[in-house]
Amino acid sequence: MKNKEYKKLLSIPGLDSSQASYTSGCFTASSTVVTESGERRRLSDLRIGERVLSIDEDGRPAFSEVMLFLDRNSDEERQFVHIEADGNTHLSVTPSHLLMSVDSVGSRSFVFADSIEEGDLLLVAVNGTTLVPRRVLRVSVAVSRGVFAPLTRHGTVIVDSVAASCYALVESQSVAHWSFLPVRAATTISRWFSATKVPEASRQNGIHWYAKALYAIKDYVLPAKLLHH
């Protein structure tokens, strides 16, 4: 169920409620990640090929290569869910993006950002080595300019210290990650021929063509219960 603050947003005159099911999920330009060198980098300055703090298959913090941007647009305005949690934790993310939540017995799951409510628990990285649950204190909404969605090899990323998926729109991390297998394979093959390739700036503006193709067919191949509405 979408949180109360987001429901309020949909009723504000002048705001585009169709963005609730927009064709991608993103973070803001000022959102930050931690690179392998220990530097905290804004997503707007992040380069393809850099390794950033993410979550590995065992659920532990690990560095993972940025293969591409699922969406990258410095000029576009988008509606964001702003989440404030214990420990001075703040994250702004689009409503359909997946975040890693944890229940009262410690079970982890990926849920849509607009389903997060006060009192829920999110996983937050501490010192880059440990994920700990932090209680959500407040959820609000805002419009911000700039949308960025890096895709790592692990399919996860820690943004502003919060554990998140790289994916959106489909409430299944495993299904979303499987669908990008061709991208991981192509990236691996390209690395064989350019082993010393240095990270490069992305010239992309908008949604990546592969992601756009998947978004176009999702309604026809996936059950409605998995999709963001």
The per-residue pLDDT for 9 is 53
The class level of CATH for 4-226 reads: mainly beta
The per-residue pLDDT for 139 is 98
Reported as a pLDDT band with limits 50, 70 and 90, residue 204 is confident
Task: Calculate the alpha carbon distances from 206 to 72, 110, 149, 158, 178 in Å.
Answer: 5, 25, 10, 22, 23
Average pLDDT over residues 182-200: 79
Six token digits for residue 17: 């409620």
pLDDT in tens, 26-59: 999 999 999 999 999 999 999 999 999 999 999 9
Six token digits for residue 202: 């992305």
